[in-house]
Amino acid sequence: MNLDAGLQAFSEESRELLQSMEDTLLQLEAKPDDDDLINGLFRAVHTVKGSAGLFGFDRVVEFAHLAESVMGRVRDHQVAVANDLPSLLLESRDHLGLLIEQALDGKPDPDEDSIRTGKALSARLQRHLSDRPAGEAQSRSIPAPTAPVLPARREAGVENRCWHISLRFGTEVLRNGMDPLSFIRYLNTAGEIVNLTTLEAMPDPAEMDAESCYLGFEIDLNSAADKEAIASVFEFVQDDCLIHILPPNSPIASYGELIEALPEENARIGEILRAGGALTESEFGTILAGWEKRLGGAGGEAESMPEPSGDAGIRPGVVEPSIVNAGADKYKKVKEHKEEENQVVRVSAAKLEDLVNLVGELVISGANTNLLARRSGGRRLADATETLAGLVENIRDTALSLRMVEIGTTFNRFRRVVREVSRELGKEIDLVISGGDTGLDKTVADKIGDPLMHLVRNALDHGIETPAERESAGKPLTETLHLNAYHDSGSIVIEICDDGRGLVREKILAKALEKQLIKENQSLTDSEIQRLIFEPGFSTAEQATNLSGRGVGMDVVLRNIAALRGRIDVESTPGEGAKISIRLPLTLAIIDGFLVQVGKSSYVIPLDLVDECVEFSEVASESYQDSQHINLRGEILPYIRLGEVFKCHTPGARDSQSQKVRENIVVTRYAGQKAGLVVDELLGEHQTVIKPLGTIFKNVKGLSGATILGSGEVAMIVDVPGLVSRVSESGCPQRTNPVNLEEVRH
């Protein structure tokens, strides 16, 4: 057993659980009565505790246990979700995360800070465990047929002084050369097995596989060993077995959890635990009553429940049928849920990366094969390679979609930020998320998190007014921050909209003057002013709050997004709000390209951006020649000659031929803007594996990468947005500094 792998799994699992705890807690604030949320929360912290216990992370277990106890009381409606409880639980969650991190780092001793935080939090959590409103809690939590079972201790622990171990072996255990017997034998050496019930889940003999394991056990072990020692017994099988270990005198609630977590019907397990002495009758009654209550039964119904019979046999009739059925339903649901989970396979990102790289190579060599086949003139060969090319394309799409993740996960991270900011600044902010299911490449999603966080903080900090300001502006007191995402022509667009004050022209200008980014009396258009906020060293925050203004400016955001081949746009209406749109490519690895030829060089234009191709007729353009526009069906279309921009026509090359080369214009559309690229020849679609250009080309605008053609030649990938902006910035392409490709290549 590779312990590192185990720890890795624990680290991932706990990260997910902590995230889900955070999400749940934030939702819980809005819906404090939602039992599903409360149960989810309880389960999450319970699982963290259990897993941490397996690895012997005692400090994590200790703290998680406290938090779990409080959540258990919330679940049993003994503590209401009110006041500071959500905040307290959120802070506890953070602390738990910190403890787990420290444990994973292998730090032997916690630093003083974390001890202090831990103590403070523990004290606050304890308060929720002790201040039980006696009358109310008793009447609600104690089932009718049983005597009061809550002992004098703060927490209702069971009388059972043994460790309770529930084991369900995986089917492969025997085949893997392990025998459950040896575990039981070993347990015998670690303590005294007070009780053991063997459970079998065997199918009909006709369907039974004699080499599969169908056994499970409920064990009560009287032992002085600690949890770590007991858990370590099962280290070798913990991957494919269901293992639950409850310490002596565990809270009743944790037995309730256990019963529900086990695959058998709740009622059956309950009887087994009762018969085996793990639970007393009254303790079992408490659990039953708890279910009854949660299943929506009125409080009075509990009274009609028959008293659990005194004999120790397993008698199915003992428990009211409705409970048995409800238990079965629950079990079914749990099982379905489990099956759903099992349909997901975890794969390391590095492996996916390798796959995508290989697919890239496959695409290139596929293109090569295609080319050779076409040249050879064999029709059947050409047909076969055509089919192959179709398959390669499918593989490429599937491989890329494997890395697609939903942006929603990234968005959800901001709920916490928004919540905290609204507290801190005394602003009421509503976060609306839409388009969370929009997919994008994981590598892009990973890199967009920080820039987005910065933009969200900025919007909250600078964009949103105080309630007083809003009231005087006649706006609703609660602000709305809207995060939205959608797909648009091969890109994902992420929008951050707020209904705050928008970008204040005067403020930006004043700041820009102060920072000497502009000169006095310089006249600027609105969009130029808006772009000023992305200048290095620009910050309008009058006082540096701890939200934004941490020295990291919007220029960093802009740079990060540009590094992802994305762009950022700002729309703002003073007094009504601002919208920041980020446009990113869906993937960084392979694109559908459109191959064109200019002179002797090939270029690839991303196919998603290509609107149409038309023949470039001098006639249509003649009257617009000076301004580099043509009339495209009554629309003015600015165009660029790729050959001129990249200087790949040797001067006079065209004139030396008696006839003019027939030229084509590729009409591209990006972010609602159309532009034409004039090229010599259209070569058709081409699957393009993007090879990044080295750092020496980083200042070359207009090219976003290179690719290798089937023939082995290099083709440059045209960065349409970059090219268009470069041309529009300088007004006219002739005045730009052309990139001499011949120089670039050699």
Partner 1 sequence: MKITKQKGTSKSTGLCRLQIEGDMTIYQAAEMMEKFVPCWNDYREFELNLSGVGEMDSAGVQLLLMFDRKSEGYDKKVRLLEIREAVSEVLNLYRLGQRFDIQTSPRQ
Residues that bind partner 1 (CB under 8 A): 174-175, 179-181, 184-185, 188, 195-198, 200, 202, 205-206, 208-211, 213-215
Which residues make Cβ contacts (< 8 Å) with residue 693, sequence separation at least 6?
A: 700, 703, 704, 705, 706
Which residue's CB is nearer to partner 1, number 275 or number 302? 275
DSSP assignment of 537-595: T----SS--SSS-SS--HHHHHHHHHHTT-EEEEEEETTTEEEEEEEEES-SSEEEEEE
- The DSSP output letter for 459 is I
Compute the least distance from the CB of residue 206 to partner 1, in Å. Answer: 6
> Is 604 in contact with 595 (CB distance < 8 Å)?
yes
Pairing type for strands 601-606 and 714-718 reads parallel
Compute the least distance from the CB of residue 323 to partner 1, in Å. Answer: 19
Compute the least distance from the CB of residue 263 to partner 1, in Å. Answer: 16
CA distance 440 to 494: 11
Sign of the CA dihedral running 606, 608, 611, 612: positive
Which residue's CB is nearer to partner 1, number 195 or number 254? 195
Which residue's CB is nearer to partner 1, number 203 or number 299? 203
CA distance 284 to 685: 69
Compute the least distance from the CB of residue 692 to partner 1, in Å. Answer: 55
* CA triple 219-73-332, angle to 5 deg: 55
How many CB atoms are closer than 10 A to CB 222? Answer: 14
Amino acid at 742: E
- The DSSP output letter for 654 is H
Compute the least distance from the CB of residue 29 to partner 1, in Å. Answer: 47
User: The tokens 């048995």 sit on which residue?
Assistant: 324
Compute the least distance from the CB of residue 200 to partner 1, in Å. Answer: 5
The strand pairing partners of 151, in sequence order, are none
Which residue's CB is nearer to partner 1, number 185 or number 315? 185
Which residue's CB is nearer to partner 1, number 174 or number 367? 174
Compute the least distance from the CB of residue 314 to partner 1, in Å. Answer: 11
Which residue's CB is nearer to partner 1, number 257 or number 271? 271
User: The tokens 């709000």 sit on which residue?
Assistant: 577
CA distance 148 to 138: 8
Compute the least distance from the CB of residue 347 to partner 1, in Å. Answer: 32
> Is 464 in contact with 422 (CB distance < 8 Å)?
no
Which residue's CB is nearer to partner 1, number 184 or number 683? 184
Which residue's CB is nearer to partner 1, number 209 or number 239? 209
Sign of the CA dihedral running 295, 301, 306, 307: positive
Cα–Cα distance list, 504 to 513, 635, 730 (Å): 14, 35, 27
User: The tokens 């022509």 sit on which residue?
Assistant: 489
> Is 222 in contact with 162 (CB distance < 8 Å)?
yes
CA distance 256 to 284: 8
Which residue's CB is nearer to partner 1, number 171 or number 631? 171
Compute the least distance from the CB of residue 445 to partner 1, in Å. Answer: 46
Cα–Cα distance list, 466 to 237, 504, 695 (Å): 57, 16, 45
Compute the least distance from the CB of residue 404 to partner 1, in Å. Answer: 44
Which residue's CB is nearer to partner 1, number 208 or number 732? 208
Token digits of residue 527? 């969009």
Which residue's CB is nearer to partner 1, number 169 or number 639? 169
- Residue of 383, 370, 480, 380 whose CA lies nearest to 428: 480
Compute the least distance from the CB of residue 326 to partner 1, in Å. Answer: 20
Cα–Cα distance list, 64 to 22, 498, 670 (Å): 15, 38, 51
Compute the least distance from the CB of residue 180 to partner 1, in Å. Answer: 5
Compute the least distance from the CB of residue 256 to partner 1, in Å. Answer: 25
Burial (0-12, 13-18, 19+ Cβ within 10 Å), 213:
buried
User: The tokens 């953070």 sit on which residue?
Assistant: 94
Compute the least distance from the CB of residue 321 to partner 1, in Å. Answer: 17
Which residue's CB is nearer to partner 1, number 313 or number 672? 313
Which residue's CB is nearer to partner 1, number 184 or number 295? 184
Which residue's CB is nearer to partner 1, number 43 or number 274? 274
- Residue of 129, 152, 157 whose CA lies nearest to 248: 157
